[in-house]
Structure 1
Amino acid sequence: MKQYDYIISGAGLAGLSLLMRFMTNPAFNTKSILVVDKAAKTENDHTWCFWETQAGLFEPVVHHRWQHVNFFSSQFSSLLDLAPYTYKMIRSIDFYKHVYEEAGKHRNIEFIYGRVEAAGNAGSKGLVVVDGNQYYADFVFNSILFQKPEQPGQAHYLLQHFKGFFIETKESFFKPTEATLMDFRVDQKNGTTFAYVLPFTPTKALVEYTLFSKQLLNDEDYTAALKNYISSVMGLQDYTILEQEYGVIPMTNMKFVKRVGKVINIGTAGGQTKGSSGYTFQFIQKHSDKIVADLLQYGDVSENKSLLQKRFNFYDSTLLNILSGEKLAGDKIFSDLFGKNPAERVLRFLDNETTFEDEINLMGTLPQGVFMKAAWQEIFK
């Protein structure tokens, strides 16, 4: 029976972000660490965007940065200065290679690939089962959703689903210093829908079509909408599609199980996707930092939920109440947020980092009747 100090179950964003922190802290050099997943990551299967005020742990693999972003809607359009924030993008393949290369320098880290069947507990140890073989550890950090969490009747559940084209033009078309954060100048019949454009060079960009809704679309519908946006809204006719990407992210106030015994859930499986926006990257980084700090200080991982977390969970539930009930159009909400507040305040709010005074000011710019009614409904559930 092989035992480890830590097992990381799932080598995606959450698992490898935690692994990177273990590797950059000498205190973990003596810890035996096993990473398990179905296969090594060898493809560019995700694009992660986030904002921060300074260089982060994964700065070496940031593919592009923008200080200015466009916002477009029928109510408000503007080029926004994000200072002191910078909007950043990481390609998953660069992230994977970076972490794997670092892991190759550490003899205490082992990778096993196969069908990860379960994560659970055996006495005082955590365990994972891979292709029928059991592996034990003091702690298992699991990012795999083995089954969808039960959905209570009063929980809100939407999907953020998207398809993107990496495109190239023959002539210069894009301005690499300006991204489009949200463009609501698309049909809203399927729910809150917007496009965003991330230009890397004058001839290359990622164009993404995104929806917040309860139902997914057929693949041909995403493709048609993307091509229509590129031709009709962007005014671009001649381009080549280099790559495509597709994804689905849960937007919910369902209670994810954070821990069972020695199994600590991380990533989306551990509730690190922000319910009202689908943003995940920075929440995973913060959670990874907390895990490392707790292990160093206590030799365990605490589960305390702060008043700050409870406050933002309430805000998320209120917005989900409105969006899932179609009580107010999403383009109206985001137009008010970005049109009536400094961009940096909105970004801090979306990162759960505003003060209560900031939040009062933000709430004052939104339709009071709709939000107050939704808030009371969430309070009295």
Structure 2
Amino acid sequence: MSTHLFQYKPYDYRYEYDYVFAGAGAASMSLLLRMLVSGRFSNSTFLVVDKDRKDNNDRTWCFWEKEDGFFEKLVYKSWDHLWFHSPGFSKKYKIKPYRYKMIRGIDFYSFCIDYLKKQQNVQLLFEPVQRIETLKEGARLTIENGEVYHAKKYIFNSIPFDQPKEAPGKHMLLQHFKGWVIETETDFFDPAACTLMDFRISQEHGASFVYTMPLTTRKALVEYTLFNEGLLKEEEYEDGLKSYMRDFLKLDQYTILEKEFGIIPMTNRVFDAGKGNIVNIGTAGGQTKPSSGYTFQFIQRHSDEIIYSMLNHGRPRPTQESHEGRFMFYDSVLLDVLVHKELGGAEVFTKLFKRNSAQRIFRFLDNQTWIPEELLLISSLPVGPFLRAAKRQMF
């Protein structure tokens, strides 16, 4: 039996709404809450469907931002300084006007779901989604038990039903990570500065680094991250974390409070924006930065673009895509370098951080630099490997 918050009124389709959201993660919540707080959709009805009740801390989003963001009240911790480490190079960066921010998954889900439960025109359904289909009028969603829900206008989908197709020059890497929130018995961490990347660890599995986010003087999130084609065994992630804390943090005594694991696609393959009355959002809609895996801020930007398009043009189809044009080319070239092992990730990012400010790198990774600034960044990288990768991508 489906888990409904209150009684539904049946239609020719089993149930009918103006908008249906397939998935209840960051992308769906970011867009839906914007629609609701805009005040322009008070006469619309919404359904959100996800197999997961979102009642555990399954992930942590970290991102940089200049101003207060839409979810500013959910920021758990932020930093004005960050460290970059690699063999033979370490530097602490002052990143103002940016702040590096952390939002915990459980805080995000709890806030959003509590807000939605207070809205009379929103319903939540915790069931696995089997399929979605666009129709001549609206679209429909079918859950695993066969029940059908009709969206009179649009389905916003964040579930990756279809993987982007392979094509010449298109690469697929995985960013996969295992993180521990640890606590020490005595003061150990500097909560004023985080470590964005530490490449001093073994690179035997490909581009590998650890980031450390101090939450207090005694508590921190330490995450072992890799960019490559395949996952490791469970014990390899654990060994990587233990080794890092022993060899680089010089930390032997600690308590593991929480664990998290995640996989993010890093690909220049083209994601389908959605057909007809289905709009793909989040990673399913191509909002993950191909060369870095950063997603949260691109979701926020995409949500703003969708809302603007709906209110001004009557359709949820932004004319400007975040990962098109020259920035997609830059991403493709870097992926090509990593896939062909022309350079290691440690060497690439060390060159960038040695010769550029953190602010310039942030703007570049946000797809917000101008060409003169991009030329400065490109000139800080080894010419040969990137030129060969660029030729492969062009031809």
The bucket for the TM-score relative to the shorter chain is over 0.9
Which region of structure 1 is more displaced relative to structure 2, 149-158 or 197-206? 149-158
Alignment partner, residue 67 of structure 1: 80
1:132 equivalent to 2:137? Answer no
How far apart in 2 are the matches of 1:326 and 1:266? Answer: 31
Shift of 1:305: 4.4
Whole-Å separation in 1 of the counterparts to 2:322 and 2:193 = 37
- Cα distance in 2, alignment partners of residues 120 and 177 from structure 1: 49
Q: After TM superposition, give the deviation of residue 123 of structure 1 in Å.
A: 2.2
Match of 1:259 in 2: 274
CA distance in 1, matches of 2:33, 2:107: 14
Q: How does 1:36-115 map to 2 (within 5 A)?
A: 36-115=49-128
In structure 2, runs of 5+ residues without a counterpart are 1-12
AA at the equivalent of 1:13: A
Which of 192, 207, 214 does residue 207 from structure 2 map onto?
Answer: 192
- Does structure 1 conserve the Cα–Cα contact (< 8 Å) formed by 2:117 and 2:123? no
1:32 matched residue in structure 2: 45
Q: TM-score, normalised by structure 1?
A: 0.97
Q: TM-score, normalised by structure 2?
A: 0.94
2:289 pairs, out of 247, 259, 274, with 274
Judged with a 3 Å threshold, the aligned counterparts in structure 2 of structure 1 residues 258 and 187 are, in CA distance, closer, same or farther, namely same
Whole-angstrom CA distance in 2 between matches of 1:262 and 1:206: 41
**RMSD of aligned residue pairs (Cα, Å):** 1.3
User: 1:183 maps to which residue?
Assistant: 198
**Inter-CA distance 281–210: structure 2 relative to 1 (3 Å threshold):** same
Tell which deviates more after alignment, 150-159 or 353-362: 150-159
- What pairs up with 1:323-342 in 2 under 5 angstroms? 323-342=338-357
Amino acid across the alignment from 1:201: T
Whether contact under 8 Å (1:160, 1:212) holds in the other structure is yes
Deviation at 1:74, TM superposition (A): 1.4
Q: Is the 8 A contact 1:9 1:143 kept in 2?
A: yes
* Alpha-carbon contact 1:192-1:330 (below 8 Å) kept: yes
Give the Cα–Cα distance (whole angstroms) in 2 for the partners of residues 172 and 308 of structure 1.
43
Secondary structure in structure 2 of the residue aligned to 1:128: strand
Question: 2:131 matched to which residue of 1?
Answer: 118
**3-state DSSP of counterpart to 2:101:** strand
Q: What's the CA shift for 1:194?
A: 0.3
Give the letter aligned to residue 154 of structure 1.
G
Which amino acid is 1:206 matched to? L
Name the CA distance, whole Å, in 1 between partners of 2:334 and 2:192.
Answer: 32
Equivalent pair of 2:31/2:303 in contact (CA under 8 Å): yes
Task: Tell me which residue corresponds to 2:326.
Answer: 311
State the distance in 2 between where 1:192 and 1:153 align. 23
Residue equivalent to 2:247 = 232
Q: 2:161 aligns with which of 121, 146, 163?
A: 146
Is contact 1:337-1:365 (8 Å) kept? yes
Partner of 1:250: 265
Could you tell me how far apart the structure 2 residues matched to 1:200 and 1:23 are?
A: 32
Q: Quote the Cα distance in structure 2 between the aligned partners of 1:307 and 1:206.
A: 29
The one-character-per-residue Cα deviations of 1:327-379 (angstroms, maximum 9, x if unpaired) are 11111111111110111000011111111111011111111111111111111
- Runs (5+) with no aligned partner, structure 1: none
- Distance in 2 (alpha carbons) for counterparts of 1:39 and 1:226: 28
- What is the SS of the residue equivalent to 1:94? helix
Please tell me whether the aligned partners of residues 132 and 141 of structure 2 are also in contact (alpha carbons under 8 angstroms).
Answer: yes
Identity, % of aligned positions: 46
> How far apart, CA to CA, are the structure 2 residues paired with 1:163 and 1:247?
7
Question: Do the aligned partners of 1:50 and 1:88 also contact (CA within 8 Å) in 2?
Answer: yes
The 1:267–1:308 alpha-carbon spacing in structure 2 relative to 1, beyond 3 Å, is: closer
Aligned equivalent of 2:8: none
Quote the Cα distance in structure 2 between the aligned partners of 1:96 and 1:306.
Answer: 27
Matched, 1:354 2:372: no
Give per-residue Cα distances to partners, 1:199-237, cap 9 Å, x unaligned: 010000000000000111000000011001011111001
> Structure 1 residues 196, 189: closer, same or farther in 2, change over 3 A?
same
Query: Secondary structure in 2 aligned to 1:259?
Result: coil
What is the identity, as a one-letter code, of the residue corresponding to 2:150?
A: Y
Q: CA deviation at 1:296?
A: 0.6
Aligned AA for 1:300?
A: R
SS at match of 1:77: strand
Asked if structure 2 preserves the Cα contact closer than 8 Å seen for 1:75 and 1:335, the reply is: no
| Offset at residue 151 of structure 1 (A) | 2.2
CA distance in 2, matches of 1:61, 1:11: 17
